[in-house]
A and B are shown apart, each in its own frame.
Chain A
Amino acid sequence: MKTILFVEDEPNLQKAVGQFLEKEGYQIKSALDGQLGLEMAREFKPDLILLDLILPKKDGFQVLEELKKNEITKNIPVIVLTNLEEGTDVEKALSLGATTYLVKANYELDEVVKKIKETLK
């Protein structure tokens, strides 16, 4: 079973996405802030990380940067899942090594799952 780490500070989104992905057959680990997300990534070495950008303690950009610097986590694909949509944010996240950039408001959950499946192939 593939493991996905979901770093998101909004509990309602955590619940909805978590349950949906569990039904799709993934194991979900949840982190409610950036710092915890980084620690859990190192500890569990998930197959994929879903990362929000606006996060307490450490924002998504910092998390992404540190994930890509660390030997253990640098090869884990990261899908940024956020409501920030400005051109500069997208470019920054992609240049820091994010695999895909998804704007939450523009995606239904089954489309998010489709992107996850494509990335995990």
Chain B
Amino acid sequence: MPLKEVLQKINFVKQCRRYQLSLWQCPSFLFLLMGLITILTMLGSYLIALRYTEQPEIVALIVILVAAILTIINYFIVQGFERLAQANQLKSEFVSIVSHQLRTPLTSIKWTLNLMMDEKAGQLTEEQLAKLKTIKESNQQMGDLINDLLNVSRIEQGRLVVRPEKLSLEALVRDIFKDYGSLAKSSNVKLSLVSHEDIPLISADRQAIKIVLQNLIDNAIRYIRKEGRVKIVLKKKNRSVICQAQDDGVGIPQKDQNKIFQKFFRSRNIMKYQTEGTGLGLFISQAIIKASGGKMGFQSREGQGSVFWFELPIKPKNNKQ
């Protein structure tokens, strides 16, 4: 349908959203706006000129002069913004390429370590094994960081795709608890899972939802100071499933609460206790939940703890961003 295609092309609101730009930073919207201003100014100067002079040549000259000056200014403004948008796009592509290239040597380190630490390889002293474990953990951290950066560049380029499959949130949470067992223990945190009723299987991307749950559980554990509890609660509500991650950690100060889902944002109070972290986890999590057709939010009080929740439809309507 050609008409539909033409309409889609001039749908600048959608285009701007794709580049993750607000309307006021978006070249196509600004171009339209400046065009309108130019036309209005031309009309205005025509009317004013008519009032003060009777000679049509001078009126025409003034109008053309005003229009020319405005067009030149428009051109530079829009071009400047377009360059910014392009630079932003290039940055995302650069991050994506570098991250992919870094993955190969990291995989090589990880798998060689797997080979060395495999019990069938035998004959490693406890000390050697402990050192290899340290390398493995650092390697994992680097790998996680690269995954975060890749996800951010996907989100920024509008390329985040979720692939739904039948998924049990309950089983997924239990799996993740296993991975976080030792961190929870060393941080004196008790992990628990509460399912209020039979939670149905949902249709969602396992790997993506795993990232969300890992981020929520990881944050909850890390931001508990001496000891505490992290409770995951699963509930069914109409045609969706709600998952809450409750902790009794440091909480989020009121003034930071509106920035918590922003990219690279880290609350000032947590920087005092926990310097590790990139501030990307919640930004990525929220984008994944949105792309999965759900929503995400939180309640928090400084010093008392936080509850982060997400709601996912049992059967999503549209899974692409």
Question: Given A16-B115, A86-B161, A87-B159, A106–B108 Cβ distance below 8 Å?
Answer: no
Which A-chain residue is minimally distant from B107 (CB atoms)? A104
Question: Given A13-B107, A23-B120, A105-B146, A86–B112 Cβ distance below 8 Å?
Answer: no
Question: Given A83-B103, A83-B107, A106-B207, A90–B163 Cβ distance below 8 Å?
Answer: yes
| A10, B163: Cβ atoms closer than 8 Å | no
Q: How far is the CB of A13 from chain B (nearest CB, A)?
A: 5
Interface centre among B100, B105, B111 (most CB of A within 10 A): B111
Interface centre among A13, A105, A109, A110 (most CB of B within 10 A): A105
Q: How many B residues touch A, CB cutoff 8 Å?
A: 24
Interface centre among B114, B121, B146, B161 (most CB of A within 10 A): B114
Tell me the complex Cα distance, A84–B107, Å.
13
Which A-chain residue is minimally distant from B120 (CB atoms)? A23
* B236 in the interface (beta carbon within 8 A): no
* B110 in the interface (beta carbon within 8 A): yes
| A105, B114: Cβ atoms closer than 8 Å | no
Which A-chain residue is minimally distant from B320 (CB atoms)? A87
Q: How many A residues touch B, CB cutoff 8 Å?
A: 22
Q: Which A65-108 residues have C-beta < 8 A from chain B?
A: 83-88, 90, 104-106, 108
Interface centre among B107, B115, B121 (most CB of A within 10 A): B107
Question: Given A104-B107, A105-B106, A85–B150 Cβ distance below 8 Å?
Answer: yes
* A119 in the interface (beta carbon within 8 A): no
Q: Which A25-72 residues have C-beta < 8 A from chain B?
A: none
Tell me the complex Cα distance, A119–B304, Å.
49
Q: How far is the CB of B288 from chain A (nearest CB, A)?
A: 13
* B143 in the interface (beta carbon within 8 A): yes
Q: Which B58-94 residues have C-beta < 8 A from chain A?
A: none
* B5 in the interface (beta carbon within 8 A): no
| A17, B150: Cβ atoms closer than 8 Å | no
| B120, A87: Cβ atoms closer than 8 Å | no
Chain B residues, CB < 8 A from A86: 154, 159, 161
A-B contacts, 23 of them at CB < 8 A, read A10-B108, A12-B105, A12-B108, A12-B112, A13-B111, A15-B112, A16-B111, A16-B112, A16-B114, A19-B115, A20-B118, A23-B120, A83-B103, A83-B107, A87-B159, A104-B107, A105-B103, A105-B106, A105-B107, A105-B143, A106-B147, A108-B114, A110-B114
Nearest 10 pairs of A and B residues by beta carbon:
A87-B161, A109-B114, A16-B111, A12-B108, A83-B103, A104-B107, A16-B112, A105-B103, A23-B120, A16-B115
